[in-house]
Copies of this chain bind each other. A is one copy, B any other.
Amino acid sequence: MAQGRVLVVAATHGNERNAPWLLEQWRRSPQLLAAAGLELQLEIGNPEAFAANRRYLDRDLNRCFRPDLLTDASHQEREVQRARMLLAEYGPDGRQPCAVAIDLHSTTSAMGNSLVVYGRRPADLALAAGIQARLGLPVYLHEADPAQTGFLVERWPAGLVIEVGPVPQGLVTATICRQTQLALEAALDTLAAAASGRLCLPQRLQVHRHQASVDLPRAADGTPLATLHPARQHQDWRPLQAGDALFWHADGSALGFSPDDPEACWPVFINEAAYGEKGIALSLCRRESWVCSPGWAEALAELLLP
């Protein structure tokens, strides 16, 4: 059984260096992290990619947790093997089972200190709502995106991503470390409250629900013909209006924002360096305010109660 233990993963992407630096400090000095009495498993997600300071070696580890990939023996990429290993060791039915996975990421986008939740599992929503009540962090609800699936935390009974930026790949900065630790400690405090049956959720959870991703304009051979407009750089979470400058050509001319859905105007992951290869210049969300259900806290408590 997975009861109680919390898996904390750093460097699922090997060139996101802040969380693994912190993790190394916490291993050396456990008193540095306020664990709220929880039993933690601290783990480097992709040690080989971390050693190489690359996002991944064969395949993005945080897109490898698809059931079809995990069970298809023809897939022997290093990251697929690593995903199987992490599940065999720390998955809900693993040798050292964990009930919850917190996956620590950083981004070149100005996401600030933020959360990414995949889908609408009640326990995930309870955890996100608890963190939002403590720190006010914005939530990107990444769902209904067939182009991006197989995220690590989806294979644990509950979990979410803490996503902090902007910070270059390959770089540790103190501010990003402090934000990461604050968000993790708020998550652990929320989980400890759930484990003791005293988790009190706020009335509402604000989410930014994924609607679409937008690529740069490209030539037929794939060459980008424009780049993000300077007025959009580091403007994550700030709503776009029709006609706002979105892309910039080298001759100085702009291409405007032309929305399919005027409510899908909240941008996230603007100019994330790793998403160029995925054909994503930014993603667009609707902002919604959901009433927190008592069932969410119960679902999380059930996973954690001793």
Contacts and interface: CB of A to CB of B under 8 A. Distances in A.
Interface of A: 21-22, 24-26, 29, 32, 53-54, 108, 166-175, 177-178, 181, 223-224, 227-230, 233, 248-251, 271, 273-274, 276-277
A284 B139 CA distance: 41
Contact of A228 (B173, B273, B274): B173
Nearest to A167: B168
Contact of A171 (B53, B108, B178, B248): B108
Contact of A108 (B25, B168, B175, B177): B168
Nearest to A33: B250
Nearest to A245: B174
Nearest to A24: B223
A173 B276 CA distance: 12
A295 B168 CA distance: 42
A35 to B, nearest CB: 15
A177 B32 contact: no
A230 B26 CA distance: 20
A227 B177 CA distance: 10
Contacts of A250: 22, 25-26, 29, 32, 177, 181
B224 A172 contact: yes
A170 B230 contact: no
A169 B172 contact: no
Contact of A168 (B29, B169, B228, B277): B169
B223 A174 contact: no
Contacts of A229: 174
Contacts of A230: 173-175, 178
B233 A175 contact: yes
Contacts of A29: 250-251
